[in-house]
A and B are shown apart, each in its own frame.
Chain A
Amino acid sequence: MEIEVKNLTGLRSDEKIKMTAGEVLAVQIPYERLEVFAETLQNAGVHVFSGSLLYYKRMNLKVHIEYLRKWYNSPLKTDDLVRQFNITDVSTRLSKLSRAEIQKLTYIHALLSNNKHIVFIDPFINTVNDNIHLFHKMKEQLVNQGKSLFVAASRLEDAFIVQPDVMKLTEQGLQVVETADNTEEDSISNVSKIKVKANDKTIFVTIEDIEYLESQDGKTYINLGSEKFVMESTLQGAEEQLEAHGFYRCHRSYIVNLHKVKEIITWSKNTYSVIISNPEKAKIPLSRAKFNEIQEKLVKL
């Protein structure tokens, strides 16, 4: 199935997004475009799972699975699905279950669906880590079923949770997310503050407060708790500047403050995330190649 990019961005483009059987796409799409995206794909006959949980609140999970299984005439067995997705409570009505528990039903729904093309929109917002593991389980099974999976995420970090190869949809069309450009930059060590710009103001940020840095569209962003600033330097430059302060380049487009790292989660064979100890528990992508190195660094910190 092919989706024309011009329908998504509204701009002239000959590009097409191709959904191929047994393949997974992870694409970052700006939040404001997600609605158009969902609608376009729905009209194209793709099964779209957006964040809302459209189920019957009086019924329990087992009735739902049974019902969907029959509706799609799926060969999968209800009991197997209940076991695979760690559903412990099959007899409580949905209105009394937590969101995380109901979310498992969307994964099962995707497996049962007779549609060959499945789209998930922002599946990692409002979720728990256990469900991300289950999402990966579902992903593998969808691939085995010969279905194509398209994950659209508004946050780049979320797209990296799906797989290491990520694309993004911008004004220019569809782009592969690549290494930030390497340019020379003056490296100054032994600094305690870093200069960032926010509109007309120049702010000096205490280095220890930085949680992580990310590179997007050639710009470097500094994340401090709930705030985000643009930094007047490339990621490469920032890395040299901050290395001595316990920062680590855990991914082509991310630098993380090792002091703020809480844990590392393995989602599947080659997708990892570094969890930052902040209220949102931000999930920063970790390259496969850096998986061992970061652990050494964290131990020696």
Chain B
Amino acid sequence: MNMTRAMAIFEKDLKEFMKNMMLFTSVLIPILMAVFFSRVGIGAGAEGEMPPEILGILAGVVFSAVLFSGIMTMIAEENEKDTLRGLLQSPATIIDIILGKSMVVILMTVISLVASIVIISPENYWTLENIISLVLAGMFFLNMGIGLGLVVKSVATTSVYIIPIMFIFGFTPYIEMLITDPDSIGIKIAEYFPIYQHMFVLEGNAGAVEFIVLAAWVAVSFLLVLWAFNKRKNDE
């Protein structure tokens, strides 16, 4: 790993991110949603407290629209235009490139998430437990983005993955609107998804199990990254 190289990529891609309207608007979407939620006050309880479902979905939107789709689109664009050909002379450099790009999307995710949460300003949000759950969930989405980004050949193909991943992993709590029976098998499965773990932690009644489930998701997504690396290496 070479930090100078990762920083070179970081600076270049930060500028690229700002100029790419598709990526840049994704940062604004959760912020606009937060403004919308805070004005309308959907489901706000008697004390005006925002329900954890809304906060969970907001985090899910940030992770899937900014973190996941951002890193995947950036890697896919390099694949499509073949812009890395001149740089990739040693296998180690791909790690520097991914690291530099990840730093860009992580920065943007933090900006987008913090801004959205500040707008809603819920109580007891920034607890240590919740921050850990956000970091773990974020790692899951980042790994998914890197893994799929390495595999897809063009920017157009990324949209095939963005919508399903966004609905399944980003908007998981919305399943309660589709399936009203709380004992349904669908809900039981969904409750093992990453955003639900984050919501349980946010509600404050989580034990070690939620963190173990989140860590398992991170491990699975990391395996996806390893698989994608190997596939790419074999293709070349």
Interface residues of A (CB under 8 A from B): 45, 47, 49, 52, 54-56, 58-59, 63, 66-68, 70-71, 73, 93, 109, 113, 115
Contact = CB atoms under 8 A, between A and B. Distances in A.
B86 A47 contact: yes
30 contacts: A47-B89, A49-B86, A54-B81, A54-B82, A54-B83, A54-B85, A54-B86, A55-B83, A56-B12, A58-B16, A58-B20, A59-B12, A63-B15, A66-B11, A66-B12, A67-B8, A67-B9, A67-B12, A68-B8, A70-B5, A70-B7, A70-B8, A70-B11, A71-B4, A71-B8, A73-B4, A73-B5, A93-B19, A113-B86, A115-B89
Given A54-B83, A113-B86, 13 more contacts: A54-B85, A56-B12, A56-B83, A58-B19, A58-B20, A59-B12, A59-B16, A66-B11, A66-B12, A70-B4, A71-B87, A73-B4, A109-B86
A47 B86 CA distance: 7
B79 to A, nearest CB: 12
A3 to B, nearest CB: 16
A71 B9 contact: yes
Interface in B1-50: 4-5, 7-9, 11-12, 15-16, 19-20
Say what secondary structure dominates the interface of chain B.
helix
The residue in B8, B86, B87 that gathers the most chain A C-beta atoms within 10 A of its C-beta is B86
Given A56-B16, A115-B89, A67 B83 contact: no
A91 to B, nearest CB: 12
Nearest to A52: B82
Interface of B: 4-5, 7-9, 11-12, 15-16, 19-20, 81-83, 85-87, 89
Nearest to B236: A43
A7 to B, nearest CB: 18
Given A47-B86, A54-B82, A54-B85, A59 B8 contact: no
Contact of A45 (B11, B20, B81, B89): B89
A64 B7 CA distance: 14
List 9 tightest A-B contacts by C-beta distance, closest first: A70-B8, A67-B12, A71-B8, A58-B19, A54-B83, A71-B5, A67-B8, A73-B4, A54-B82
Contacts, number: 47
A45 B88 CA distance: 10
A58 B8 CA distance: 17
Nearest to B96: A71
Contacts of A66: 11-12
Nearest to B100: A71
B54 to A, nearest CB: 35
Nearest to A69: B8
Contacts of B16: 56, 58-59
Contacts of A115: 89
Contacts of B86: 47, 49, 54, 109, 113
B11 A67 contact: yes
Nearest to B5: A71
Nearest to A93: B19
Contacts of A54: 81-83, 85-86
A10 to B, nearest CB: 22
Given A47-B86, A47-B89, A54-B81, A59 B4 contact: no
Contacts of B82: 52, 54
A236 to B, nearest CB: 45
Contacts of A73: 4-5
Nearest to B18: A58
Nearest to B90: A45
Given A67-B8, A70-B4, A71-B5, A59 B89 contact: no
B234 to A, nearest CB: 15
A111 to B, nearest CB: 13
Contacts of B87: 71
A67 B19 CA distance: 16
A73 B12 CA distance: 15
A200 to B, nearest CB: 45
Nearest to B83: A54
A45 to B, nearest CB: 6
Contacts of A68: 8
B83 A59 contact: no
Contacts of A56: 12, 16, 81, 83
Most chain B C-beta atoms within 10 Å of own C-beta, residue among A52, A56, A73, A109: A56
Nearest to B88: A42
A172 B16 CA distance: 49
